[in-house]
Amino acid sequence: MKTPSNKSFTVAEAQIKLEYYCSYQERCHQEVVAKLYDLKMIPQAIDMIIVHLIEHNFLNEERFACSFARGKHRIKSWGKIRIVNELKFRKISQYNINTALKEITPDEYLETFHKLAENNWENMRETYLIKKRKKFCDFLLRKGWESNLIYEKVKALESSTSSD
């Protein structure tokens, strides 16, 4: 919902709007600042509102990073590389990124990887093996999985399909 460009907000109105914005879904500082600029707030007001949101626990980068990592891994099946890159893009600190990655257990991580890889391999229509291998690897690399995992998996899948 776009706000009319000529409407201006008081600090209190913007603060209420942003409290709702942050309570609806976890947000990073960058998203909140962008939203405040969209509301045509001046830098001093933005600083005041950000401080208020942090003090009242509406805005918490560590909580955002953890929630982001869990969600992208479980729902979109992203690997650690993609999650880290996306968090860096949102200007999340390295400390918070490391904390967020601890949210994904090694067992869960590998289970998701194997499930995703096997589904992708089985459902691929490509019959020419070299093209199939390239498409498979590209897909998993785009999802942010580590290349050593991918190449081990593609070898295992190729050997299991060639023995059939």
Write the pLDDT tens digit of every residue in 29-39.
Answer: 999 999 999 99
Residue 81: what pLDDT? 97
Q: What is the mean pLDDT of residues 67-76?
A: 96
Q: What is the mean pLDDT of residues 50-54?
A: 95
* Structure-block tokens of residue 39: 């509301």
Angle at 103 between CA 101 and CA 109, to 5 degrees: 75
Going by pLDDT thresholds of 50, 70 and 90, the confidence category of residue 149 is very high
In the chain, % of residues over pLDDT 90 = 81
Residue 50: what pLDDT? 95
In the chain, % of residues over pLDDT 70 = 94
- Are 52 and 13 within 8 A, CB to CB? no
Q: Classify 91 as helix, strand or coil.
A: coil
At 146, give phi and psi (nearest 5°): -70, 140
Q: pTM for this one?
A: 0.86
Whether the per-residue pLDDT at 160 is higher than 80: the answer is no
Angle at 133 between CA 127 and CA 139, to 5 degrees: 110
Buried b (16+ CB within 10 A) or exposed e, 88-103: eebebeeebbebbbeb
Average predicted confidence (pLDDT) for the chain: 91
